[in-house]
Amino acid sequence: MKQNILPAIRLTLFCAVFFSGIYTFLIYGVAQFSPNNGKGEIIEHNGKKFYANVGQKFDKDEYFWSRPSAVDYNAAGAGGSNKGPSNPDYLKDVEGRIENFMKHNPGIQKSEIPSDIVTASGAGLDPNISVQAAKVQAKRIAEIRKIDQNSVDELIANQIEKPFLGMFGTEKINVLKLNIALDGLK
């Protein structure tokens, strides 16, 4: 037993020093080379500051809708619902979102609705939607704002963010940036 206690104590002390000091400063140093020094991307619009890397709630018909959030877009309490895809409550929530989406986007078939516009992300704060999720909303926005749908489609195309290094992830659109650009179409 004595031969196990000393290595365990040494390992504990090493981990405490490494993870509370060295590792923390290493990650902090790497963050200094990222955009905005690791503090996130801040966008100022109409005198307000928004974090582009944290999901914002957009649910008005004249804007592109955000991905649903299990935590009501509260960055202090990020987290998923922990309900699996076979959970009856979860299925009821998703079905309600589908019905609501179809009500606000007449002419859209259920099969055309991308999953990311009716399901919450793991953290509940995803700032992005898929390109398809933006495209299925274009008609509604063009009609409400009384602008040409081709202008809205072009705006969507200009806001597409490509995968990291062209291969990691999928194409996506930041909803906050898209809606700010949409306001600029006036």
- 36-76 pLDDT, tens per residue? 777 778 888 888 888 888 888 888 999 999 999 888 888 77
- pTM, rounded to two decimals: 0.79
d(CA 126, CA 176): 11
Q: What is the pLDDT of residues 124-169, one digit of tens each?
A: 788 999 999 999 999 999 999 999 999 999 999 999 999 878 788 8
Higher pLDDT, 75 or 115: 115
Phi, psi dihedral angles at 161 (to 5 degrees): -100, 125
Q: What percent of the chain has pLDDT over 90?
A: 51
Domain boundaries, the chain: 1-39, 40-183
d(CA 186, CA 182): 8
